[in-house]
Amino acid sequence: MLPALFVSHGAPTFALSDAPARSFLEQLASSLERPRAILVVSAHWETEAPHLSVDAVNPTIHDFHGFPAELYAIRYPAPGSASLADDVAALLEGGGLDVVRESGRGLDHGAWVPLRLIYPAADIPVVQLSVQPRLGPDYHYRLGQLLAPLRRSGVLIIGSGSFTHDLSSFRQYYNALHAPAPEWVDQFADWMDDRIEAGRTEDLLAYRQLAPHAARNHPTEEHLLPLYVALGAGGSGEAHHLHRSTTHAILRMDAYSFGDAA
């Protein structure tokens, strides 16, 4: 059974950067069985209720401004999957959630940047699911629990966000890809890692109150919520810390697998 994954997708320029996290993602597929389809939950699709992409071929969204021209030339034309969208909707609706099917939106950079590195051929069907930031970690953990049965049918669930994400500090480090993380970034990330590896889910759900520098690292929660979806989808299986690094000092690029052996 495939694990559920959490990956950090970094700044849009991560798609072009020479960073340790890029090398990690480029080799990640070699450690996984090939999925029949991928469900990706990206921090960059925020909605009031769960939305699902239902395109036959996923358009590529360049949802950023002011970056190098070569970024805007990148396409990731992965096919969609009507059957996976139906399965996801059935599981969520069975859990009492209202689901909206949406065509024409495409894959945002939270989805296509990591997917292009992991599966560059763009030949595995992809469905994207939105996050609901106003509903917080508990809701997204439950969302992951509802999605967990997909793992038994060859679906790879990927939560794509950022382990830390203080964009107010990003500008000062924009040209410093390899700058070390400040202490307040590492203190938060280390606290989260300790609780993840110890299986202390209640602490993780209350991270906003318990973790050091929580609000500074995540002024808004959307980039951490995909972690909770992956955590919930992993069930009672072990968590494995797959990667640890930093880009632009304030973006920790950590990745985890949940629910299966590393």
Mean pLDDT of 133-144: 98
Mean pLDDT of 27-37: 97
Give me the pLDDT at residue 262, please: 46
- The 10s digit of each residue's pLDDT in 151-178 is 999 999 999 999 999 987 777 777 788 8
Higher pLDDT, 174 or 65: 65
**Domains, the chain, ranges and CATH?**
4-184+220-258 (3.40.830.10)
Would you place residue 84 in the very low, low, confident or very high pLDDT band (cuts 50, 70, 90)? very high
Give me the pLDDT at residue 260, please: 72
Instruction: Mention every residue, 6+ apart, whose C-beta is less than 8 A from residue 173.
Output: 179, 248, 249, 250
